[in-house]
Structure 1
């Protein structure tokens, strides 16, 4: 595999695995885990324990990708890591499903945590080298299109997840059905991607493709990477200030009797908006630059987060969710292209993308203090906790918009020079 190929794989093949992971994380994080955690620990402590569980998983996702990515760069291989990671991910899902079906109380919760850690380990082990494929295989002038297809497939996977969760809820199917669906929808797209990216049996290490492998300090001294990293941290902090608690918001603020089903519908609205803007945003960014798209997208996400605080009823909240999705899809379509442009060296794509991925994963740890803040605020009455976490989310989105101005407009040219 070389640093860029004349004929990179079709964008749909290259990004198929993102479809499966998007389905996986939407159903697991936003539908199953909130309900399962409440079943294990009870109503009064649900926010604290859910936030802590998300943060525990984030620690795994924080440490593993740079290490696995660096090893993948040294060996010149991508696919063996993906195969092993997907296998461990599936084992973790089985453990979580077993705990949710057969165990109760805190004993069940800790078995559930073990399964979740296996899921995090396997998924991050697979996606660390996988994340290198767009900057490695796709020329800069095409990255907006490829990033847009990736965003579209992610949104489609999330939409399928929301529809599947809605169907499972309406039909009152056992919780194990959802875990089986996650496993199947994760595995099939993974096989599509792995079969569509042939890898030689004895390849030369990727470092021989040219380019200096930078130290971590040198990497962050590279201005394009530094500002893209910090911008993604802020947008991710905004996302994870709210995302894990949407189901609780539907029940406590919007007074929805069937909160899981209502959340599935709300997520579907977000995702439909994302699909509309995903491909458009990526293609526009190839013409006018990445930053103008992010300005508009971040502004829309901040406005939606604030307006959800005063939504008078569920239909208005759904309209705001659609509006948020338009911003989120545009941001996602450009995010990967912007990150790919900021990679300074062709010899360490997987390690550097793994480090960049930390900017998305580390903010998940904020779910623990945000969950505690949610419970603390709500204990004071008037759903004050939701005002705090949604308001904080809006501030993070606004800060991300302001900071992205510092990203150099010619980041990919610096990358080519380094390579």
Structure 2
């Protein structure tokens, strides 16, 4: 691996990660609060899991293809921010289409228009984030990546908390769903402007050192291979549960206001993750990335299993806090571990784009997991949730076991 040459960061971590704040708010409110509610209004209760899973999986196709292609083009031009600007514009157009479908259409016609808007959202957001994701490994030296990743994780968690609060407010005040889309658009644009103004394009020239590894050989580089595999496993665990949390609150916990209850659970997860994100990132700079992931992943797996046994909503909130502590620590270290595993400065955006596939490809699990959820619940006894949450815990534990294979490239780069 080739390390950055500067011994000091070239831009504030808060400015560098500002757009991650907007993107995290965007995806939390959209995927976890708005989309489950909107899908039910379009297709009804009986098929909500199947259609929500299908929507997530179809959108993941774009998230699979776009980042590596756009990242490679960004590496050739040496530019990052123009992609961010154009991508945000397309993202906003997609949000507008989704909002119109919710506000003016119904039934399957509304669903198909909603799907078209969601595809635009996926296209724009991935077009923006693929080159943007190269900035941390490109501008931050290895010995500070844990700190930078921790601040990025904290900003993401804070944004997710605000997204959950927004979901609570929309539900409690009985506001139109379109208000959520307006909030997402505003919260996406402002941080994007902060990043574009605070990271001069001159700070992101084409890399001049190191050799670019052909993408066909990228998985022969063991640090990248194992980081990719373990991220896939953790993402599979996350996406096995995340889209269906709102349904879990109603079907298993018997909460009358599913939106409010799932938003409170998310708030507990996120507040806890804020507390552990910065600590986890800084700790990983001192003791290494893997020990933090061992503890974080195990905590997430145990919490996911115990949620199946939660006797009441209060217990589910306590377990949400435990899950959040693990999730925050994992998120803070995950980006540092991925940055350490990049083989060459000359292809940061392309390689980060391919690595990003490890996070978005598991969104395809939404379709089979949604079908499994509907099938299991039709058998009675909330069997569907037992299967889905149990599978999620298995993915987390397997990720913990396999992360031990990731070589410590940080020492080699020092």
Quickly name the TM-score band, shorter chain normalised. over 0.9
Indicate whether 1:373 and 2:372 are aligned.
yes
CA–CA separation in structure 2 for the residues paired with 1:381 and 1:356: 39
* Selected match of 2:136 from 114, 134, 137: 134
Match of 2:183 in 1: 181
Contact between 1:342 and 1:415, CA under 8 Å: does it hold in 2? Answer: no
Contact between 2:142 and 2:413, CA under 8 Å: does it hold in 1? Answer: no
Deviation at residue 414 of structure 1 after TM alignment = 5.1
Deviation at residue 56 of structure 1 after TM alignment = 0.5
Contact between 2:4 and 2:142, CA under 8 Å: does it hold in 1? Answer: no
Misfit runs of 4+, over 6 Å: none
Contact between 2:342 and 2:352, CA under 8 Å: does it hold in 1? Answer: yes
- Residues 33, 284 of structure 1: CA spacing in aligned structure 2 closer, same or farther, 3 A cutoff? same
Q: 1:159-170 alignment to 2 at 5 Å?
A: 159-170=161-172
Deviation at residue 175 of structure 1 after TM alignment = 1.0
Match of 1:313 in 2: 312
Match of 1:361 in 2: 360
Match of 1:13 in 2: 15
Match of 2:110 in 1: 108
The Cα offsets for residues 317-354 of structure 1, whole Å up to 9 and x where unpaired, read as 00000000000000000000000000010000000000
CA–CA separation in structure 1 for the residues paired with 2:241 and 2:300: 12
CA–CA separation in structure 1 for the residues paired with 2:412 and 2:176: 53
CA–CA separation in structure 2 for the residues paired with 1:44 and 1:166: 25
Contact between 1:61 and 1:124, CA under 8 Å: does it hold in 2? Answer: yes
Deviation at residue 151 of structure 1 after TM alignment = 0.2
CA–CA separation in structure 1 for the residues paired with 2:311 and 2:10: 49
The Cα offsets for residues 102-159 of structure 1, whole Å up to 9 and x where unpaired, read as 0001011000000000000000000000000000000000000000000000000000
CA–CA separation in structure 1 for the residues paired with 2:411 and 2:323: 32
CA–CA separation in structure 2 for the residues paired with 1:318 and 1:48: 27
* Selected match of 1:95 from 87, 97, 104: 97
Deviation at residue 7 of structure 1 after TM alignment = 3.9
CA–CA separation in structure 1 for the residues paired with 2:214 and 2:139: 23
* Cα RMSD (Å): 1.3
Deviation at residue 165 of structure 1 after TM alignment = 1.0
Bigger shift: residues 7-16 or 135-144: 7-16
The SS at the match of 1:165 is: helix
Contact between 2:273 and 2:329, CA under 8 Å: does it hold in 1? Answer: yes
CA–CA separation in structure 2 for the residues paired with 1:180 and 1:266: 23
Match of 1:269 in 2: 268
Match of 1:384 in 2: 383
Match of 2:329 in 1: 330
Contact between 1:241 and 1:366, CA under 8 Å: does it hold in 2? Answer: yes
- Residues 3, 13 of structure 1: CA spacing in aligned structure 2 closer, same or farther, 3 A cutoff? same
Indicate whether 1:61 and 2:63 are aligned.
yes
- Residues 308, 382 of structure 1: CA spacing in aligned structure 2 closer, same or farther, 3 A cutoff? same
The Cα offsets for residues 179-235 of structure 1, whole Å up to 9 and x where unpaired, read as 00000001101111111111149x86x14x111111123211010000000000000
Relative to the length of structure 2, the TM-score reads: 0.97
* Selected match of 2:410 from 409, 412, 417: 412
CA–CA separation in structure 1 for the residues paired with 2:223 and 2:242: 28
- Residues 413, 70 of structure 1: CA spacing in aligned structure 2 closer, same or farther, 3 A cutoff? farther
Deviation at residue 3 of structure 1 after TM alignment = 5.0
What number of residue pairs does the alignment pair up?
A: 411
The gaps in structure 2 that reach 5 residues or longer are none
Contact between 1:344 and 1:414, CA under 8 Å: does it hold in 2? Answer: no
CA–CA separation in structure 2 for the residues paired with 1:7 and 1:319: 38
Deviation at residue 412 of structure 1 after TM alignment = 3.2
Q: 1:23-34 alignment to 2 at 5 Å?
A: 23-34=25-36
CA–CA separation in structure 2 for the residues paired with 1:58 and 1:384: 27
CA–CA separation in structure 1 for the residues paired with 2:399 and 2:202: 41
Contact between 2:4 and 2:141, CA under 8 Å: does it hold in 1? Answer: no
- Residues 7, 147 of structure 1: CA spacing in aligned structure 2 closer, same or farther, 3 A cutoff? closer
Deviation at residue 413 of structure 1 after TM alignment = 4.9
The Cα offsets for residues 392-415 of structure 1, whole Å up to 9 and x where unpaired, read as 000000000000000012x13556
The gaps in structure 1 that reach 5 residues or longer are none
Relative to the length of structure 1, the TM-score reads: 0.96
Contact between 1:20 and 1:190, CA under 8 Å: does it hold in 2? Answer: yes
Match of 1:240 in 2: 239
Contact between 1:68 and 1:351, CA under 8 Å: does it hold in 2? Answer: yes
CA–CA separation in structure 1 for the residues paired with 2:296 and 2:303: 11
